[in-house]
């Protein structure tokens, strides 16, 4: 006697989306080629898709994205899956993706000689190293400009010109193109060239002084790895 088993070409996938503390995240979008779903208010999703290995990009307006892999190649429906999303930082500042660790703000220390002024990251500052190809997450508070630090850790040098009293800037400013995100946040791709960098707030055509420390100017600093 022959037993014929019919297997449907599609299968039901289900699961949930939560934050790192396990609380439900509603409105998260799950997208894979040929299959997508949106989590409901309880964080649950349910969708019928073709039998395949699905890699969903999970996105939400106020959470960092994640990837959820569901293997639906077997005869039975896969067990419910869960994606955990990290809430975006809310305090003003710069953060390194994908960990969202805060970029430290050691500031730029100004030193002056008769022929030059220098604005440099303190030599003792420990800078976080970000992998090349990642990005800065900007909880926007102030306008800032990005500079590559020179061999002495300086973001800007001002030197006399032709022996006069005018100052001419010597600095390596790096042009960046941010991507606007929800709630006024920005994603800024890191420079491709390895090295140390400073992001300095910019106001009225110059750096912003740190009021509690004379001759120190506001700046975040980090390093881009190879």
Domain boundaries, the chain: 10-85, 93-224
Q: Rounded mean pLDDT of 83-92?
A: 91
User: Is residue 5 pLDDT above 90, yes or no?
Assistant: no
> Pairing mode, if any, of strands 144-148 and 206-207?
unpaired
Residue 150, helix vs strand vs coil? coil
Angle at CA of residue 117, ends 144 and 125, nearest 5°: 60
Q: Rounded mean pLDDT of 17-24?
A: 95
Q: Please report which confidence band the pLDDT of residue 142 belongs to, taking 50, 70 and 90 as the band edges.
A: confident
Q: Rounded mean pLDDT of 33-62?
A: 95
pTM higher than 0.85, yes or no?
Answer: no
- 59-79 tens-digit pLDDT: 998 898 899 999 999 888 899
Tell me which fold the domain 10-85 belongs to: Immunoglobulin-like (2.60.40)
The pLDDT score that the predictor gives to residue 34 is 93
The answer to whether 193 touches 224, Cβ cutoff 8 Å, is yes
Give the total residue count for the chain. 226
Q: Average pLDDT, whole number, for the chain?
A: 89
Calpha distance 99→224 (Å, rounded): 15
> If we measure between CA atoms, which residue out of 9, 10, 59 comes closest to residue 30?
59
């Amino acid at each position: 006697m022959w037993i014929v088993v019919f297997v449907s070409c599609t299968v039901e996938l289900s699961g949930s989306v939560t934050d790192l503390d396990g609380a439900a995240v509603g409105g998260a979008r799950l997208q894979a080629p040929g299959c997508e779903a949106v989590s409901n208010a309880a964080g649950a999703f349910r969708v019928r898709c073709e039998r395949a290995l699905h890699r969903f990009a999970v996105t939400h307006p106020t959470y960092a994205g994640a990837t959820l892999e569901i293997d639906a190649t077997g005869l039975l429906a896969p067990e419910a899956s869960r994606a955990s999303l990290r809430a975006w930082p809310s305090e003003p500042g710069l953060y390194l993706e994908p960990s969202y660790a805060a970029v430290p703000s050691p500031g730029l220390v100004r030193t002056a000689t008769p022929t030059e002024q220098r604005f440099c990251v303190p030599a003792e500052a420990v800078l976080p190293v970000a992998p090349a190809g990642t990005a800065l997450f900007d909880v926007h508070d102030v306008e800032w400009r990005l500079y590559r630090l020179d061999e002495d850790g300086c973001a800007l040098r001002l030197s006399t010109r032709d022996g006069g009293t005018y100052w001419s800037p010597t600095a390596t400013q790096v042009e960046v193109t941010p991507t606007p995100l929800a709630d006024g946040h920005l994603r800024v791709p890191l420079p491709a060239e390895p090295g140390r960098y400073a992001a300095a707030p910019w106001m009225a055509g110059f750096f912003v002084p740190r009021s509690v420390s004379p001759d120190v100017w506001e700046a975040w600093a980090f390093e881009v790895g190879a």
